[in-house]
Each structure stands twice: as C-alpha cells, then as structure tokens.
Amino acid sequence: MENKLSMEEFSKFLKAKGFIYQSSEIYGGLSGLYDYGHNGTALKNNWCKEWRKFFLKLGSNFVEIDASIIMHEHVFKASGHLENFFDPIVVIEGEDQTYRADHLIEDKLNEKAEELTNEEMLKKIVENKLLGDIDYSKVKVENLNMMFPVDMGPKRATKAYLRPETAQSPYVNFKIQFELQRKKLPLGLGMIGRVYRNEISPRNLTLRTRELEQAELQIFFNPSKIDEHEGYEAVKNSKLKVLLKDKRDQEPEYLSLEELRSYGLPRFYLYHMLKVQQFHLEIMKLDEKNFRFLELNDKEKAFYNKYHFDIEVKMNNPASWVEVGGVHYRTDHDLKGHEEISRIKMEVLDDMTGERFIPHVLELSLGLGRQLYTLLDQKLSSEEERGNAVYGFPKKLAPNFVAVFPLMKRDSLPEYAKKIVEELEEEDLKVFYDEAGSVGKRYARQDEIGTPYCITVDYETLEEGENKNTVTIRDRDTTKQKRVQTEKLVSLLKDLQKEKVSFDDL
C-alpha cells in the first residue's frame, strides 16, 4: 500500500523515527535547514557508499575529490553565477512579505512558470490576482541572487562566496587533476559535498532547502569523441524511459539507445543516461512507473547545456513529479570561462590524435537530499495486516541490516544474543540489539525503520534437541520466519545482502 500520509503527518513520522527534522529546533528552527537523525545519517552514508561503488567504476580514470565550500569570487565570475544565478522574487512595496514568483504561479494556477520572464510572471500575478485583494501597482517581480557572500580576513578584504553548486570545484581542480591522472581522458571527477543557496521559499522538507548536498560526477572528454563509448554496443538495445520535449502532452516512451540516436543524442551521452537509470532502478530499486527522464526545451535548460534531461520521480508527498537530478552536456562553457578569468590555459593535447582542445563536460548530477527524500517517500507503506508502517528500503541502503532480539531478558538469552551481535559486527554488518517489549512490538519498530531481517534467540536455541544453536530469522518484506544454525548466520546474511540468495532459498 502506498504512503497516504499528509505532508504534516509524514514530517512527524520522519522525526519520530530519527530520519530528518528541522535544524535548531529547540530555538524555533530555521526555515530551509534540516538535521539528519541517527537513522537518516545511516541511510545517507549507505546511499553515498553505493553511489561511489557505482559511479566511480564507470571509467578507469574516475576518482573522487573533496574541495573547500568557500570559493574565490572570481570562480563565480567565470561561471556566470554573479550575473545569472537569480530567482524571481515578488516584492510588495511597504511590506516585508515576499514570494518566489514562479512557485506562486505554479501553486495557484497549477501551471509551469520556470521559463517565463519576470514581466510575464508579473502579468500573470496581476491578471489572476494571486496575492488577493491588494493594490497591484505596488507589486514588482525582481531578481534575487541566491549566493551567500563571505568577507574573509580581519579587514574583510578578500571577497568570497559559499559555493551554490559542487560542480565548480571539479572545474577549478581540472588542470591539476589532469596532470596527476597522467593526462588521460575521459577524466571523471566525482564529489559529494554541501552547497548553499538563499532560497526564497524553501519547502517540502529536504526537497528545497538553503543548505543541501550534491553527489556529482563531472566527466571531462574529447568533444570529437562524443559519439563514441567502448561500452555502447553491449547496451545499445537497452531502453530508457523518456518524455521528450516535443511530446509533453503524451505519456513517457520506452526508447532504445539506438532509437534515441535519431533524435540527435550521441552515444557517449546515451550510455551515461542508461547508467543513471540503472542506479535508480537497480540500486535504489524505485518502481519504474514512478521514474522518468524529462527533456528540457531551450527556454527551460541552462543556456550552456546542449543536451539536458532531468531525472524525475513521481512523489506521494507532494503528489507530483519532482526533479531529483539531471544529465547535462555542458560543452566547454565551464573550462573556457575559467581560462578567461584565471588566465590559466585549460587546453589539453590528445596524444593519440595530436588534437588540441578544451575538454567538454558531461555532468551526472544528483541532489543528495532529494535522493534520500525519494527513498523516504517511495519506500514507505502502510500494512493493514501488520497494523504498522513498513519501510521497504533496499537491503544495502537500510539504516540497520539486521536486528537481534533475545526472547526474554533472562535465562542467558541476552548473553547468547549479544554474542551474535558481536560476531555480526565483526563482519561489518550493521546490527541493532533490542530486548524491550514483546517480540511483536520489536518487529514493528524495525519494520518502521526498514530493517530487512530480525533474529530471535529463544529457549530452543539453548536447549538440547534438533533446534539447539539455531535461531529464528524473520524477513521484513514477507514476515516469513525460518530457523537457521547460528554458525551459518554470517555467510547467510552476507549472501542475502549481496542478493546471491533469496529468503526462500534459506
């Protein structure tokens, strides 16, 4: 059963289960800022681990870097953020209340407003009286730069900014990393990091915040080879679920990579689109019906993106399609801009062909907060038969992989259970120990945070007989239970985690 909670109920549930809640809450909280509790942090760490395993293996020359959050103002002069990183804000003369113009139109009229100019948005607001009964001659739509400035040093002489995206960090690191990685292309620079945006109207928990995290892979390559990829032939008949820009009034299509080439999309781009889809469907295990790529038109996409597909998920809260990432071909816009401002040559030599060129960039960008929100939204169900909620997280992503219970808090049952906990932890399995309440209530508590398996040590475990040194293992998704020998627990659980066996195979 789908998650049918209202946004308020959903927020309370996530807080009660230790996933996410408002930052600085004891002081009334701060709008657009959230903290991850113990279960939310574990979920995030597991997601990041799987992201690294998946995306950094897409190329032999793909590595991860980490970079400063505060960056020189010239970085953002080169990138265009100082001139272009604005959101439209509705200002009413004589009032403190402000609104984000495109969100106001989308919320009130249920129509997209991202591509409208400020003048067009103002016209819609006035004509439809979206602000109620006020004097609309006092209403303006202006631009608000979303970057947070930082004045550094005792005399505040050095001007800097909190970065509004992680992408600029790999770009300013490209030259040195290209040298360090033996001047080989494609070069992938991956990064997971925090960014800061002065959002006008943060909302919907971690879907739109002022402090956020991004997981991005920036792939630098020879533009003359954009229609090549060594892995393409093996996957060319694989299908992508896409909603093309000229077919917005239709349902998404399942088109093979080869079919999409007829729309002008090159092999290098399509191969990585497929990998992004595989990550969402095979690693995050999203329901395919709630996933799609949306192609942006020329008005919607950034001017420097030659190809731009958003990754969208149909959420329960809010009940709409939400962008959770994107696949962007940014051409040489970024490195060319940094070459111009820094006076450092970004041109490289291809030893194989003798070509000199500024590398182009393919960006695989995922909003970490939105990715985690996707799991929290999509994987929650309400099981009427059980009488409790269930988080069906993929096994590799769940905050805890297994919980261990003694049936009772006496007769050496806790000691036996704790010995199992120690053995499992030594094998790097995330274990939770619980001895409070009935076993049924303990099962329910683990269901609500998504623990795939629960192990119960009972009296049969201790007593002579065919079940001596066996325990009950219970599967979260089916509630089936089986008895297994304790000496085989580690190998069985590892096989279950790696999906080498199913629970029914035990």
Name the burial class of residue 1, with classes exposed (0-12), middle (13-18) and buried (19+) by CB atoms within 10 angstroms of its CB. exposed
Token pair belonging to 259? 């079919």
Q: Which residue has the tokens 């984000």?
A: 100
pLDDT digits (tens, 9 = 90+) for 232-252: 999 999 999 999 999 999 999
Indicate the pLDDT class of residue 2, thresholds 50, 70 and 90.
low
Q: How far apart are CA 426 and CA 43, in angstroms?
A: 20
Mean pLDDT score across all residues of the chain: 94
Instruction: Tell whether the model's pLDDT for residue 270 goes beyond 50.
Output: yes
pTM: 0.92
Q: How far apart are CA 248 and CA 319, in angstroms?
A: 19
pLDDT digits (tens, 9 = 90+) for 187-203: 999 999 999 999 888 88
Q: Given this structure, which CATH class describes domain 400-505? A: alpha beta
**What are the domain boundaries of the chain?**
7-81+148-378, 86-145, 400-505
Q: How far apart are CA 339 and CA 349, in angstroms?
A: 16
Angle, vertex CA 494, rays to CA 488 and CA 499, nearest 5: 120
Instruction: Tell whether the model's pLDDT for residue 334 goes beyond 50.
Output: yes
Q: Is 128 helix (H, G, I), strand (E, B) or coil?
A: coil
Indicate the pLDDT class of residue 1, thresholds 50, 70 and 90.
very low
Q: How far apart are CA 313 and CA 234, in angstroms?
A: 27
Query: What is the fold of 7-81+148-378?
Result: BirA Bifunctional Protein; domain 2 (3.30.930)
- Please give the single-letter amino acid code of residue 404: V
CA distances from 500 to 202, 431, 476, 492, 503 (A): 42, 20, 18, 9, 10
Q: What phi, psi does 49 have (nearest 5°)? A: -60, -45
